């Protein structure tokens, strides 16, 4: 039983439902949000279809011009072995974006589940889960990643699990703070008094009211994971040859930096545009969410 019940025609029964135009205005994105959405959509499409659109094989040495400039044959230049950078960038998109997205989904899902359990159970269960997550979050993410890779070696599944485990505690803390706040609200207390089971309270009352903050945090976690995996690849501990993500492309072409070769600049720009696009989108979404809640 929520404080503002909704009738079948979509209007509040208390007659305070705002006009449809006002609701549309609140749900619309700002200019920066639209730009962010376009950038994110573009790179998402490249992560799915990029390898199919690549003009050459990612590892084919097709030019004698090392660190070659932009040209019609090679729109983004060539790397230190004469390979087409555009092809390698498109083949690397699934690793950079796909692995980061999967790790973020795992981290946020595990964090939200633990947060709901802690907020619903309370007592020693909440204390045990919270103290465990506090101990994990005290370990710097890059130190944790280096320790895991040095111990077990580097592989895509290991990088995925490592990134998910590293960012799970942060997702838990955010989700728990929101869940505990929602659990104390009047409509949840009414449902408890009514005798509803805890799964009903969690999935029908608490979780829907956590959706906006969780989605905003998801975007931030995704940016953090992209930067962590790119940093690992730049150190030579991420995706291993013959595969390569964008961080690997920067590392292997670092010798061309002094000459301003596109081979080292293009993947760095790709990482920057992806993270900026996600930030623009979630900033706009978070701002709209805040104003919507205030109204």
CATH number of the domain enclosing 221: 1.10.3720.10
Is 51 inside a domain boundary? Answer: yes
Please give the radius of gyration of the chain, using alpha carbons only, rounded to the nearest integer: 23
Is 21 inside a domain boundary? Answer: no
Compute the average pLDDT of residues 71-78.
Answer: 90
Is 9 inside a domain boundary? Answer: no
Q: What is the pLDDT of residue 250?
A: 92
C-beta of residue 132 within 8 angstroms of C-beta of residue 169: no
Torsion-angle region of 67 (φ positive above 0: left; ψ -120 to 50: alpha; else: beta): left
Rounded Cα gap, residues 183 and 120, in angstroms:
8
Is 171 inside a domain boundary? Answer: yes
Is 19 inside a domain boundary? Answer: no
- Assign 3-class secondary structure to 43-76: HHHHHHHHHHHCCCCCCCECCCCCCCCCCCCCCC
Q: How many residues does the chain have?
A: 295
Rounded Cα gap, residues 142 and 240, in angstroms:
18
- Residue 242: asked if its preceding bond is cis (omega within 30°), the reply is yes
Is 259 inside a domain boundary? Answer: yes
Neighbours of 127 (CB within 10 A): 12
Give the pTM: 0.82
Residue 153, SS3 per DSSP? coil
Mean pLDDT is highest, among 20-34, 134-148, 274-288, for 134-148
Counted domains in the chain: 1
Q: What percent of the chain has pLDDT over 90?
A: 44
Is 13 inside a domain boundary? Answer: no
Q: What is the pLDDT of residue 286?
A: 55
Is 130 inside a domain boundary? Answer: yes
> What is the pLDDT confidence band of residue 22, given thresholds at 50, 70 and 90?
very low
Quote the domain boundaries for residue 196: 30-58+71-294
């Amino acid at each position: 039983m929520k404080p503002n019940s909704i009738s079948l025609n979509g209007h509040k029964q208390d007659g305070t439902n705002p006009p449809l135009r006002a609701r549309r205005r609140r749900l619309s994105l700002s200019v920066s949000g639209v730009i962010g959405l376009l950038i994110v959509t573009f790179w998402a499409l490249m992560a799915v279809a990029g390898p199919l659109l690549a003009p050459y094989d990612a590892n084919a040495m097709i030019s004698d011009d090392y660190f070659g400039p932009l040209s019609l044959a090679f729109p983004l230049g060539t790397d230190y072995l004469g390979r087409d950078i555009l092809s390698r960038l498109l083949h690397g998109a699934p690793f950079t974006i796909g692995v980061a997205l999967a790790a973020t989904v795992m981290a946020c899902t595990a964090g939200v589940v633990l947060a709901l359990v802690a907020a619903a159970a309370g007592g020693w269960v909440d204390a045990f889960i919270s103290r465990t997550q506090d101990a994990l979050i005290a370990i710097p993410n890059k130190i944790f990643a280096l320790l895991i890779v040095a111990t077990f070696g580097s592989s895509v599944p290991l990088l995925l699990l490592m990134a998910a485990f590293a960012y799970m505690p942060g997702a838990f803390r955010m989700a728990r703070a929101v869940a505990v706040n929602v659990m104390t609200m009047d409509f949840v207390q009414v449902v408890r008094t009514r005798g509803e089971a805890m799964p009903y309270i969690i999935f029908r009352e608490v979780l829907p009211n956590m959706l906006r903050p969780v989605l905003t945090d998801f975007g931030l976690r995704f940016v953090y994971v992209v930067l962590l995996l790119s940093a690992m690849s730049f150190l030579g501990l991420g995706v291993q040859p013959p595969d390569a993500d964008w961080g690997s492309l920067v590392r292997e072409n670092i010798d061309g930096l002094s000459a301003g070769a596109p081979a080292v600049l293009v993947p760095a720009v790709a990482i920057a545009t992806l993270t900026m696009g996600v930030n623009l989108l979630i900033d706009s979404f978070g701002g709209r969410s805040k104003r919507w809640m205030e109204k």
